[in-house]
Structure 1
Amino acid sequence: METGELPLDINIHDPRWDQNTFMGRAKHFFTITNPLNLLLSDQELHKAQTIVKNYKAGIVTPGLTEDELWRAKYRYDSAFHPDTDQKIYLIGRMSAQAPMNMIICGFMLTFHRNFASVVFWQWVNQSFNAIVNYSNRNGNVTVTEKQLGVAYMSATTGAVVTAVGFRALTKHLPSLVACFMPLTAVCAANCINVPLMREREIRMGIPVTDDSGHKLGYSSKAAQKGIFQVVISRIVMAFPSLTIPPLLMTELEKKDFLKRRPWLSCPVQMGMVGFLQLFATPLCCAIFPQRSSILVKYLEPELRAQIKEHSPNTEVVYFNKGL
């Protein structure tokens, strides 16, 4: 066995930083969501995949350092699904969140007064969300085309109806109030899209394991908790980029600089959204641990009995909550 210069006891099955702390999770997600990961070529990604898989198999690339191993690990994690090991669509990767939301939210905020634009950009946003939700689902549970279609149409309809309804309600109110229409629509859509996209997980359950990673069964209670955490993270993630730019733009548009150059409003607002998303995405993904947990006593009675029989000392089980 080739061991090279690097020891084989580095735990790359888990993130580099302690995931029991918010700061550890934040460092992890700042690395995962770094938009520069999108510039990696297929060759670079497959090289990273080979390094990681070889190391897990006990084979170390000659001359590989620990920092290079972790760099390969995070390149690999940024592009491949943790459960299925399949390469994720480019815009479905978490590293695409900041640039894609910069464009979509920027246009939603800029053109929130036009009915056709409201409908179009809510549709674009939910199409993007559907790809992200599908790409980052729990890979141990399959999703049918019918479920994808229902989730997509329901979230899109919910977002558009919310946005149009809010637009009608705020028609005679100050323009600043109307600026928050995109936020209301996005929050409503997240409450619809994520649960529907992952409805099969609620119905069939997701794998739960003990502390050592041994599968103990499937739980819909764990799925419900994971989906709830994802919805909360998504809603909080939307707040900075859909509230701060409108407030700032209300003041900036009063200045002569933008009055003389109104065409700059969209790129300025888009830049604000992009900057905020660089921080909001990783920090909000870090609110809850990726490897979430639930007490055995809160599981389904049948699963509780099964765990008590085969693993009587287990009081907490773990699961992948998705993103």
Structure 2
Amino acid sequence: MDGTLRYWRAEGQSFFQRFLLWADALDPLLLLKSPNEIQRTRLLMQINEKSEPIQNNQTKQAFLLSLSSVHPDTDKIIPILFRPPAFMPITLPLVIVSSVQHQAKHSFFWQFVFHTYTTAFTLVNGNGTPKAEGYSLQQKQLFLGLGAISYSACIGALPLAFSNRYALKSPLMQLFVKKLLPAPLLGLMSAFTVAIVRSPEFDNGIEVMDRNGNVIGVSKKAGEKAVMETALSRAVLFGTTFFLPEVLMYFVQRARFVKNPRALGPVRMFVIMSVLAGMLPVSFSMFPQCGEIKRADLEPEILTSTEETEFFYNRGI
């Protein structure tokens, strides 16, 4: 079992513990660390691999850098644009731009860009799976991802296309189509892209380990559980990030807290940034990073080789 997964098992049992860990690991300043520094942290982690929950501050910082920079399944350094600390700085402007579009074609373009990045992030931070027969697994995931991105962008632009096509006059319909409907659509499409691009984990399974970190087999059921948990957390993240600012801005405008109409734009951006900054560690913390699956939920062929009752897997992000 990778050192980061051991750390999640020791220090990330509760939602609150995971939230605090992610709040530290999502610090954008960690993106400035060099590959040599990251490699040194991995060496420090290996030295302390068998230790109890970390008390030494230097060792804890090493684990945080590893959590934010190294893939626990492949043990490789993640490209800088797809590390967890880069997620908010990149998605924030895309969410803001997507939320203020008034034409369907512009909305489609920006949602295409948004889903392209989030899908690539999912692909890079997912689980490694055995190679599919006859063709490259990476090629299959890229093909599935491109289809999911295009479909999600079309669905995301649909409310504006419908509104512009039928020239809705009712204020209630305008509120529903332009303000309320985009949030659940973005949440659903975000979950959809996660499920599609990581669907090979359904088909091929992911590695499951015993409590000592020994790989005891490859489980499709564990793969399904990992993908569904990640998809749900992504839906909550972007559904809330699109919906809650609209509600808050409605009350701000109604109560006339902002007198100058020109100031509404910056206020809206600040609200979106605040919601996204708060929801990101919340969504990442919804489920354990080192997931647990019971013996009764695994395939019979895996159980014949061990008497363990609890098994673990990397959920991915």
Question: Distance between the aligned counterparts of 1:227 and 1:80, measured in 2?
Answer: 20
Partner in structure 1 of residue 13 of structure 2: 20
RMSD: 2.7
Deviates more, 1:231-240 or 1:10-19: 10-19
Structure-2-length-normalised TM-score = 0.84
Partner in structure 2 of residue 268 of structure 1: 267
In the superposition, relative to structure 1, how do residues 249 and 66 fare at CA in structure 2: closer, same or farther (>3 Å)? same
Partner in structure 1 of residue 105 of structure 2: 116
In the superposition, relative to structure 1, how do residues 163 and 13 fare at CA in structure 2: closer, same or farther (>3 Å)? closer
Matches within 5 A, 1:216-295: 216-252=216-252, 255=256, 257-259=259-261, 261=262, 264-295=263-294
Question: Distance between the aligned counterparts of 1:195 and 1:208, measured in 2?
Answer: 20
Question: Distance between the aligned counterparts of 1:57 and 1:318, measured in 2?
Answer: 22
In the superposition, relative to structure 1, how do residues 136 and 275 fare at CA in structure 2: closer, same or farther (>3 Å)? same
Question: Distance between the aligned counterparts of 2:127 and 2:138, measured in 1?
Answer: 16
Question: Distance between the aligned counterparts of 1:158 and 1:27, measured in 2?
Answer: 35
Secondary structure (helix, strand or coil) at the match of 2:208 reads strand
Deviates more, 1:143-152 or 1:279-288: 143-152
Partner in structure 1 of residue 61 of structure 2: 71
Identity among equivalent pairs (%): 22
Q: Which runs of 5+ in 2 are unaligned?
A: 50-54
Which runs of at least 4 in structure 1 moved beyond 6 Å after TM superposition? none
In the superposition, relative to structure 1, how do residues 35 and 273 fare at CA in structure 2: closer, same or farther (>3 Å)? farther
The amino acid that maps onto 2:310 is V
Question: Distance between the aligned counterparts of 1:107 and 1:266, measured in 2?
Answer: 11
* Native 8 Å contact 1:155 1:190 kept in 2: no
Partner in structure 1 of residue 52 of structure 2: none
The amino acid that maps onto 1:230 is T
Secondary structure (helix, strand or coil) at the match of 1:213 reads coil
**Displacement of 1:203 after TM fit?**
1.0
The amino acid that maps onto 2:309 is E
Q: Which runs of 5+ in 1 are unaligned?
A: 1-9, 60-64
In the superposition, relative to structure 1, how do residues 189 and 18 fare at CA in structure 2: closer, same or farther (>3 Å)? same
Structure-1-length-normalised TM-score = 0.82
Question: Distance between the aligned counterparts of 1:137 and 1:123, measured in 2?
Answer: 21
Secondary structure (helix, strand or coil) at the match of 1:139 reads coil
* Native 8 Å contact 1:176 1:247 kept in 2: no
Q: Write out per-residue CA displacement over residues 15-72 of structure 1, whole angstroms, 9 at most, x where no aligned residue.
A: 496322111111111122223323x242xx522431431452479xxxxx92122112
Q: Write out per-residue CA displacement over residues 98-117 of structure 1, whole angstroms, 9 at most, x where no aligned residue.
A: 22222111111111x21122
Q: Write out per-residue CA displacement over residues 258-301 of structure 1, whole angstroms, 9 at most, x where no aligned residue.
A: 42x2xx54443222222112221111111111111112222223
In the superposition, relative to structure 1, how do residues 294 and 76 fare at CA in structure 2: closer, same or farther (>3 Å)? closer
In the superposition, relative to structure 1, how do residues 58 and 220 fare at CA in structure 2: closer, same or farther (>3 Å)? closer
The amino acid that maps onto 2:279 is A
Question: Distance between the aligned counterparts of 2:37 and 2:248, measured in 1?
Answer: 44
In the superposition, relative to structure 1, how do residues 55 and 294 fare at CA in structure 2: closer, same or farther (>3 Å)? closer
Matches within 5 A, 1:95-134: 95-111=85-101, 113-134=102-123
In the superposition, relative to structure 1, how do residues 21 and 36 fare at CA in structure 2: closer, same or farther (>3 Å)? same
Aligned counterpart in structure 2 of residue 31 of structure 1, from 21, 24, 31: 24
